[in-house]
Amino acid sequence: MKLRLRMLIPLILTVPALLTADFSAAAEKRLNVVSTLPNFGSIASAIAGDRIDLTVIASGTQDAHFVDPKPSYIVKLRKADLLLVNGLDLEIGWVPPLTQGARTARLMPGGAGYIDCSAGIRVVEIPLSLSRTEGDVHPYGNPHYLTDPLNAEVVAGTIAEALKKADPAGAQAYEDGRKAFVRRLHEALFGKDLVDLAGGSKLSREAQAGTLDAFLDGTSVGGSPLRAHLGGWLGKMQAAKGKAFVTYHKDYSYFAERFGIRVVEFVEPKPGISPSAKHLEELLTRLKQGDVAAILTRPYVEHRSTDYVAERTSVKVLTLPIEVGGAPEATDYFKLFDYTTDQIVRALTGGSPAAGR
């Protein structure tokens, strides 16, 4: 009897130790996800929580077209299970040098870990002929699709599928995470009240088909049209609908379509091309028509050109981020739109921007 107890005691003592070891081993097996840009990182993080270890390469204050491919990122890539990219050649100047440096076939186009988030996106401004002549940096169409929040719904689906494939044990968690993200996105865009009444998926379909206005005006609930329940970013941005804007780069095409604003001119004559003196004079002439509500520029571009035209007209200049982290307030994908829509509406209603210029 004594002997058996002696044998049992070490066993009892080692069981909890074994369990702990098992748990930490599982924790160490967390997926290693690298995202080229902060917005994809924010969406992946919302879906996967602490099931993944996330590294984001570019910061929100960097121009996504031109990021320095630092060797430290190569080290991160060697350990990565998944690489989330924008695609449409947005990162053509800096992702290939990194994946080639890391020598990880799975993270190169066609590899199991290479996740092109533009899959399933309805790309706009696709040129008739593929050309980089004169430096156009949008050879496959406009790559800034996450400026439309509804495209994040598509991207969330792409990322969730990739996570499920790479980590089947977490499939249910990723699906739950995706659903929660999309629900939150719909509520942020349309307002919770309207989502509760009409359903987020229905609203999303109408908005993507360009029939949301007709649906809201033509559908009544309890004697009042659904439009009366529109809230969220879209509700707020009704004040900006139809208003004319100038953007520095051609990076608000999807945003403009979603929120019904008009982008009538660009500070850059072509995406990626700095403005000439002649182009700035033409822009000045356009601005003197007096209908442009504001010039929307970015944290990482030169400000001389916008200062030049702003000094000669009364047009406001707003420096707005298009990526998470591009302003201190834009701490995640939701806060990015909270902030940008606030700033735009504030500029229109005569208030001065809360931050920036």
Q: Which residues bind Zn ion (CB under 5 A)?
A: 271
Given a contact cutoff of 8 angstroms between Cβ atoms, the answer to whether 54 and 33 are in contact is yes
Residue 303 CB-half CA count within 13 A: 11
Q: How far is the CB of 263 from Zn ion (least distance, A)?
A: 13
> Which residues, in sequence order, are bridge partners of residue 35?
56, 84
Q: How far is the CB of 141 from Zn ion (least distance, A)?
A: 10
CB closer to Zn ion, 113 vs 271: 271
Q: How far is CA 339 from the centre of its chain?
A: 14
341: alpha, beta or left? (left if phi > 0; alpha if psi -120 to 50):
alpha
CB closer to Zn ion, 89 vs 187: 89
CB closer to Zn ion, 81 vs 91: 91
What span, in angstroms and rounded, lies between the C-alpha atoms of 51 and 29? 9
Q: How far is the CB of 261 from Zn ion (least distance, A)?
A: 18
φ/ψ of 270, rounded to 5, equals -145, 155
Question: What 3-state class would DSSP assign to 352?
Answer: coil
Given a contact cutoff of 8 angstroms between Cβ atoms, the answer to whether 181 and 156 are in contact is yes
CB closer to Zn ion, 73 vs 254: 254
> Which residues, in sequence order, are bridge partners of residue 33?
54, 82
Q: How far is the CB of 59 from Zn ion (least distance, A)?
A: 17
Q: How far is the CB of 272 from Zn ion (least distance, A)?
A: 7
CB closer to Zn ion, 249 vs 258: 249
